Amino acid sequence: MEMRLIEGKKAFTWKGFFLQWEWMLVAIFIGINLMNMNLSEYYWDYNSLRDATMSFLDKAFIVLPMVFIIILGDIDISVASIVALSSVIMADLYNMGVPMPLAMIICLAVGAVCGLINGLLVVKFKELSAVIVTLTTMIIYRGIAYIILKDQASGGFPDWFSFFGWGYVGGIPFILIVFTVFALLFGLLLHKTVFGRSVYAMGNNITAARFSGIQTDRVKVIVFMLAGLMAAVTAIFLTSRMGSTRPNIANSYELDVIAMVVLGGISTAGGKGRMIGAIIAIFLIGFLRHGLGLVNVKAQVLMIIIGLLLVFAVMIPKLKRNKAVNKGS
């Protein structure tokens, strides 16, 4: 295993600037687009690309707080279940007569509460890792969703509700606009605020962070709450995309989200990574899927390609660094 160096401020070089992980992602992204354009005539079409974003951006909302969680060195695998639970509660309440806007606010509240519970369990029971806590709550939240809706679907939403998942504002998908706003907010939160610096500090060395005055417990709880909240945002958009909901929605979303985050260069060892990397990774995987889907690549081949992409994308900079380390020592 490598020694972890604390990165100080290095002198700015053009080479250093462009050899960063995020630029490599951009290069791969451009490469994927070139490949897709070559494969299918339907790809490089404004409508096709625009509508493609609506397919994969619903889970992108969870990626934003997940970056925080993974920088902290934790993980949250209950997010998919929180999506299901908040969606189910929203639909059920609406069909019981609660006005839709209020139901949506309650949906967000449910998500935040679920995240809050996750956070409290993680900080109150430090013997338990985030993995086991969120594994447990993953099962429980999904279980509650099943208890509420059983084998029924719940839907019949007002017409304006479909605007979330399907609507455009001035030709740009609404979901893309909302995502951009959230991405900016989370990016600023991570890179330009004390809160963000605390998260990095805690990810690097939590004991040192606590002793330097950071309220580690509070930061963790807030981060998990944000994850729950954004899961509820995903719930709203996903439910709008489907026009109805069941307890079994958002299956395996957590794996997709984690894949996007780690591809974005955020290390699960904690303390490293940048928001922009995750955002590029979202679009990278999304457009790759779309492009290959346009030539109707079989699902099994698509799986292999995505798997190899993940592995190779992480491997290439390691190859460079290994060579450098070997040369240096």
Whose Cβ is closer to another protein: residue 109's or residue 269's?
269
Complex with another protein: residue 233 or 262, whichever CB lies closer: 262
- Kindly tell me which of 213 and 328 has the beta carbon lying closer to another protein: 328
List the one residue out of 281, 187, 186, 178 whose CA is nearest residue 236.
178
Residue 227: helix, strand or coil by DSSP? helix
Output 135 or 189, the one with its CB closest to another protein: 135
Min dist. Cβ of residue 159 to another protein (A): 11
The SS3 assignment for 271 reads: coil
Rounded-to-integer distance, Cα 207 and Cα 180, Å: 35
Buried b (16+ CB within 10 A) or exposed e, 207-235: eebeeeebebeebbbbbbbbbbbbbbbbb
**Cα–Cα nearest to 26, from 280, 314, 279:** 280
> Of the two residues 7 and 127, which places its CB atom closer to another protein in the complex?
127
Read off the tokens for 189.
Answer: 């939160």
CB of 329 to another protein, least distance (A): 13
Shortest Cβ distance from residue 15 to another protein (Å)?
8
Residue 112 near residue 225, CB atoms below 8 Å: yes
Q: Least CB distance from residue 108 to another protein, whole Å? A: 21
CB of 326 to another protein, least distance (A): 12
